[in-house]
């Protein structure tokens, strides 16, 4: 409980600046000037070991010499001095430190060693928390505290902004000053040596001043804590994030920037969705969300009406709304009638409400008022362009005077340049979120609606009841440990030792978790293959068995529908010969024999798992067979997965209509697939040695589901969630 109390740091009553300086352009000069000139009410102590005054104020030789209680210490002295300063802070009982100093891990090994020293000192003082190092600092508008070298004090607002990029902080701060966007907290995280996204989200979820948060993320650490804190926040308030480094190449750029390792983007995407975070993909959307959340912190209803003095922009807004699966409100007949009474005869008589280019301020305001009153309308987007008769400033004043019914909202977009500048200012000051283009307004709106939708699923708890399985958890784990022993080999891309199970081993593993699969026999010789076929019953499938050959069809290593002993014998010989010629290095153990599944006309799916370095196990469901790769039809989730989440994974696939019974085909047994997914997820959670696996294909028909082939890579997981946090309101595994 005291460990995460960030209160003293974010709402300090007194501040000391170690390294406060008179030298212009030094960080210690900028931050001290910002602190003293922004209107902070508490005492501000400059600490400088070489000067008795700083910027005209008496300076202290050290923190200890101050002799007064200090809530927040800002450090901007060289990196080498920081560990000792942290010790001093700890000894003085100080609970909040912001380290602006750069020159740590971003410089390489020497910096890492310094960071370790800081952590070592900090570990002696459990209630001491550190933001940074290598950050731009924090700005707390409500108490007019700028513990930062970034210029400017934004308005006090309700949006918390937390950024892993200092440069973005300075840019956003400058932009916010111009746009009048306010913040509850404005925090540059830097190297996240101690305080990270998770700590802040955990704290801010309960901060009454904060009604939403916007994150700029380059990489996540302590992923379980992050997920739990994000879910906690997002289940109460909108949480928007931009995640940088979407591509391998960009991830590299991010890594070289923060020294942190970035995970694969699709996993980030799945994790953010699961945590209820609304992801935006560009700065414009970040700006739009900030604008919208600042002026309209309440929830916004989805049914949108557009009122415009120009047809073109109305169509543009409609296009964007429909592209984002938004909802164009259907106006009630009474509203149409009401609008008919004062709009020109050639008005659009539908949503978008085109009030015609000669509309004056009064007509626009009356139309918006009438449309907003419609019971089918939640939100009105007013679009104004400078027209012959439309005075943008007067129109803005008229819009600003409208009294908005509870639960409803007005957004606006004024398109143009100087003619609309004053109108835009008037609207923003009156609390109407106003955007440069109709598209930005729609993007912002849809992000917020997206959050409302996700919020609902966050508040339903994943049903985690145990699945009945044969044997004990220990027995099942030991079984995999034993499988791992025979011949673990270094597997470079895993960064660890690993081994691929054979198909028979893989299917045995599935059987332990009650996952239906075809019976399988190993046949080292043609005669044994024939014998196995006779025991299993014709027709059968033969597959090549070799630890080195995982894509069996590539070497002609699969023969289907063999109906006689002769066919089995011939296929065996041909298969071995072809594999030997195409993959001379491969160790050939013979073939496997399995019954041919009659109902191959079901739908083929793939179910797999991998270990992500950031988020741990990830589970993928997709279209099976060759289509998996061709159409990239897949949905990712993090375990645990219950039945309803398994169903959602299936519904998110583009092949979902096929499963429901497409064009007269019978519907697939979706319940059976959902059950299989939950069993698979339980296995993945229970077996950290499973590094990667594919069940591909699994075939689902109207009656059953069965795994036809499976491939497991097992070894020692390098993933460690480093997650000692158990104090959170909701369990981390939800």
Site for a second copy in 257-296 (CB under 8 A): 257-258, 282-284
Q: Output the DSSP codes for 193-243.
A: SS--HHHHHHHHTT-TT-SEEEEEES--SSHHHHHHHHHHHHTTS-EEEEE
Q: Tell which one of 1, 58, 388, 598 touches a second copy (CB under 8 A).
A: 388
On the CB side of 499, how many CA atoms lie within 13 Å of its CA?
A: 17
Window of 123-131, 201-209, 381-389, 718-726 that interacts with a second copy by CB under 8 A: 381-389
74 binds a second copy (CB under 8 A): no
Q: Tell which one of 368, 484, 523, 655 touches a second copy (CB under 8 A).
A: 655
Window of 36-44, 198-206, 627-635, 706-714 that interacts with a second copy by CB under 8 A: 627-635
| Least separation in angstroms between CB 136 and a second copy | 8
395 binds a second copy (CB under 8 A): no
Pinpoint the alpha helices (H) of 434-502.
438-459, 473-484
CB atoms within 10 A of CB 471: 10
Restricting to residues 92-151, which ones interact with a second copy according to CB under 8 A? 102, 106-108, 149-151
Exposed, middle or buried by CB within 10 Å (0-12, 13-18, 19+), for 361?
Answer: buried
Structure token pair of residue 69: 């209680």
Restricting to residues 673-702, which ones interact with a second copy according to CB under 8 A? none
| Least separation in angstroms between CB 70 and a second copy | 25
254 binds a second copy (CB under 8 A): yes
Q: Would you say 458 or 591 has its CB closer to a second copy?
A: 591
Window of 50-58, 158-166, 644-652, 676-684 that interacts with a second copy by CB under 8 A: 158-166
Q: Tell which one of 46, 90, 166, 616 touches a second copy (CB under 8 A).
A: 166
Restricting to residues 42-71, which ones interact with a second copy according to CB under 8 A? none
| Least separation in angstroms between CB 20 and a second copy | 15
Give the residue carrying structure tokens 């739990």: 228
Gyration radius from the chain CA atoms: 31
Residue 622, beta-bridge partner list = 606, 634
In whole angstroms, give the CA distance from residue 418 to residue 395: 15
Q: Would you say 88 or 106 has its CB closer to a second copy?
A: 106
Q: x/- string (CB under 8 A) for a second copy, residues 540-579?
A: -----------x-xxxx-----------------------
In whole angstroms, give the CA distance from residue 161 to residue 114: 28
Q: What is the DSSP letter of 60?
A: B
| Least separation in angstroms between CB 219 and a second copy | 11
| Least separation in angstroms between CB 563 and a second copy | 14
Of the chain, the end-to-end C-alpha distance in Å amounts to 21
CB atoms within 10 A of CB 485: 8
Give the β-pairing of 690-700 and 710-715. antiparallel
| Least separation in angstroms between CB 546 and a second copy | 16
245 binds a second copy (CB under 8 A): yes
Q: x/- string (CB under 8 A) for a second copy, residues 334-353?
A: -----------xx-xxx-x-
Structure token pair of residue 101: 């100093």
Size of site (CB under 8 A) for a second copy: 99
Q: Would you say 316 or 646 has its CB closer to a second copy?
A: 316
Q: What number of helices (H) and strands (E) belong to the chain?
A: 25, 32
| Least separation in angstroms between CB 166 and a second copy | 7
Q: Tell which one of 84, 401, 626, 667 touches a second copy (CB under 8 A).
A: 626
183 binds a second copy (CB under 8 A): no
386 binds a second copy (CB under 8 A): yes
Q: Kindly report the CA angle at 151 between 145 and 156, in degrees rounded to 5?
A: 45
199 φ, ψ (degrees, to nearest 5):
-55, -45
516 φ, ψ (degrees, to nearest 5):
-65, 130
Q: Tell which one of 115, 194, 378, 439 touches a second copy (CB under 8 A).
A: 439
Q: Tell which one of 119, 177, 469, 589 touches a second copy (CB under 8 A).
A: 177
Please check whether residue 96 is in contact with residue 8, taking contact to mean a CB–CB distance below 8 angstroms: yes
In whole angstroms, give the CA distance from residue 720 to residue 459: 27
Restricting to residues 197-216, which ones interact with a second copy according to CB under 8 A? 216
Give the β-pairing of 53-54 and 57-58. antiparallel
651 binds a second copy (CB under 8 A): no
Window of 177-185, 289-297, 373-381, 534-542 that interacts with a second copy by CB under 8 A: 177-185
Give the residue carrying structure tokens 């957004």: 411
219 binds a second copy (CB under 8 A): no
**Which value, to the nearest 10 degrees, does the dihedral of the CA atoms of residues 121, 125, 127, 128 take?**
-30
Q: Would you say 421 or 461 has its CB closer to a second copy?
A: 421
Restricting to residues 410-429, which ones interact with a second copy according to CB under 8 A? 415-421
Q: Tell which one of 527, 587, 657, 731 touches a second copy (CB under 8 A).
A: 657
Restricting to residues 14-43, which ones interact with a second copy according to CB under 8 A? 25, 27, 30
In whole angstroms, give the CA distance from residue 385 to residue 399: 14
Give the residue carrying structure tokens 């111009």: 178
Q: Would you say 5 or 106 has its CB closer to a second copy?
A: 106
Q: Tell which one of 250, 496, 531, 660 touches a second copy (CB under 8 A).
A: 250
Residues 407-416 as b/e (b if ≥16 CB within 10 A, e otherwise) read ebbbbbbbbe
| Least separation in angstroms between CB 658 and a second copy | 6
| Least separation in angstroms between CB 645 and a second copy | 23
Q: Would you say 242 or 572 has its CB closer to a second copy?
A: 242
Sheet strands side by side (includes 521-523): 521-523, 591-595, 540-544, 558-562
Restricting to residues 301-320, which ones interact with a second copy according to CB under 8 A? 308-316, 318-320
Q: Tell which one of 121, 207, 218, 612 touches a second copy (CB under 8 A).
A: 218
327 binds a second copy (CB under 8 A): no
Give the β-pairing of 129-131 and 96-99. parallel
Restricting to residues 483-542, which ones interact with a second copy according to CB under 8 A? none
Exposed, middle or buried by CB within 10 Å (0-12, 13-18, 19+), for 450?
Answer: buried
CA dist list (Å): 430 to 400, 542, 572, 697: 6, 74, 80, 59
Cα torsion 314, 316, 322, 324: sign: negative
Q: Would you say 255 or 565 has its CB closer to a second copy?
A: 255
Q: Would you say 560 or 729 has its CB closer to a second copy?
A: 560
165 binds a second copy (CB under 8 A): yes
Q: Tell which one of 663, 724, 726, 727 touches a second copy (CB under 8 A).
A: 663
465 binds a second copy (CB under 8 A): no
Window of 398-406, 471-479, 497-505, 651-659 that interacts with a second copy by CB under 8 A: 651-659
Window of 294-302, 453-461, 623-631, 676-684 that interacts with a second copy by CB under 8 A: 623-631
Structure token pair of residue 605: 């799916």
């Amino acid at each position: 409980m005291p460990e995460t109390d960030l209160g003293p740091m974010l709402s300090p009553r007194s501040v000391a600046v170690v390294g406060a300086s008179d030298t212009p352009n030094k960080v210690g000069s900028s931050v001290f000037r910002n602190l003293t000139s922004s209107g902070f009410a508490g005492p501000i102590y400059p600490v400088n070991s070489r000067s008795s005054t700083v910027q005209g104020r008496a300076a202290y030789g050290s923190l200890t010499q101050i002799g007064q209680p200090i809530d927040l210490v800002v450090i901007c002295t060289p990196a080498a001095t920081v560990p000792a300063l942290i010790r001093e802070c700890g000894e003085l009982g100080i609970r909040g430190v912001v380290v602006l100093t750069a020159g740590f891990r971003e410089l390489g090994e020497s910096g890492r060693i310094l960071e370790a020293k800081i952590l070592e000192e900090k570990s002696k003082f459990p209630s001491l928390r550190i933001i940074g190092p290598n950050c731009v600092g924090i700005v707390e508008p409500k108490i007019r505290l700028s513990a930062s070298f970034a210029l400017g004090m934004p308005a006090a607002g309700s949006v918390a902004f937390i950024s892993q990029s200092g440069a973005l902080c300075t840019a956003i701060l400058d932009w916010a000053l111009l746009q009048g966007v306010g913040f509850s907290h404005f925090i540059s995280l830097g190297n996240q040596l101690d305080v990270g996204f998770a700590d802040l989200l955990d704290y801010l979820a309960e901060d009454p001043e904060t009604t939403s948060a916007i994150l700029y993320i380059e990489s996540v650490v302590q992923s379980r804590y992050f997920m739990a804190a994000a879910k906690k926040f997002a289940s109460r308030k909108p949480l928007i994030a931009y995640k940088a480094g979407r591509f391998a190449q960009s991830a590299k750029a991010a890594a070289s920037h923060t020294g942190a390792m970035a995970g694969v983007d699709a996993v980030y995407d799945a994790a953010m969705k699961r945590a209820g975070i609304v992801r935006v993909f560009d700065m414009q959307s970040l700006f739009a969300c900030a604008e919208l959340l600042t002026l309209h912190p309440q929830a916004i209803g989805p049914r949108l009406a557009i009122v415009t003095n120009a047809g073109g922009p109305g169509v543009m807004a409609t296009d964007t709304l429909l592209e984002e699966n938004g909802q164009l409100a259907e106006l009630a007949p009474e509203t149409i009638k009401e609008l008919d009474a004062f709009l020109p005869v050639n008005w659009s008589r539908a949503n978008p409400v085109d009030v015609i280019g000669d509309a004056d301020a009064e007509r626009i305001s009356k139309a918006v008022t009438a449309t907003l009153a419609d019971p089918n309308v939640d939100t009105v987007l007013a679009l104004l362009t400078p027209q012959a008769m439309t005075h943008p400033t007067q129109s803005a004043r008229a819009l600003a005077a409208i009294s908005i019914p509870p639960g409803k909202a007005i957004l606006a977009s004024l398109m143009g340049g100087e003619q609309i500048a004053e109108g835009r200012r008037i609207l923003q000051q009156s609390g109407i979120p106003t955007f440069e283009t109709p598209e930005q307004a729609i993007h912002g709106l849809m992000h917020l609606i997206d959050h409302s939708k996700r919020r609902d699923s966050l508040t339903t708890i994943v049903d985690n009841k145990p699945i009945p399985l044969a044997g004990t958890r220990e027995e099942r784990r030991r079984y995999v440990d034993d499988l791992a022993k025979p011949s673990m080999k270094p597997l470079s891309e895993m960064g660890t030792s690993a081994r691929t199970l054979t198909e028979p081993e893989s299917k045995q593993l599935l059987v332990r978790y009650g996952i239906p699969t075809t019976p399988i026999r190993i046949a080292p010789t043609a005669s044994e293959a024939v014998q196995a076929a006779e025991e299993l019953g014709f027709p059968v499938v033969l597959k090549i068995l070799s630890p080195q050959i995982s894509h069996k069809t590539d070497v002609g290593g699969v023969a289907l529908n063999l109906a006689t002993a002769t066919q089995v014998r011939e296929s065996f010989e041909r298969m071995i010969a072809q594999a030997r010629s195409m993959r001379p290095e491969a160790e050939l153990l013979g073939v496997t024999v399995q019954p041919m599944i009659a109902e191959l006309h079901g739908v083929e799916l793939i179910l797999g798992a991998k270990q992500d370095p950031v988020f741990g196990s990830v589970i993928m469901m997709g279209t099976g067979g060759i289509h998996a790769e061709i159409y990239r039809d897949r949905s990712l989730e993090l375990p645990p997965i219950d039945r309803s989440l398994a169903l959602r994974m299936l519904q998110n696939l583009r092949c979902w209509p096929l499963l429901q019974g497409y064009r007269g085909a019978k519907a697939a047994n979706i319940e059976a697939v959902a059950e299989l997914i939950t069993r698979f997820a339980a296995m993945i959670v229970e077996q950290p040695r499973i590094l990667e696996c594919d069940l591909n294909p699994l075939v689902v028909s109207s009656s059953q589901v069965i795994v036809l082939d499976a491939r497991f890579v097992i070894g020692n997981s390098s993933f460690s969630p480093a997650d000692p946090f158990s104090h959170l309101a909701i369990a981390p595994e939800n």
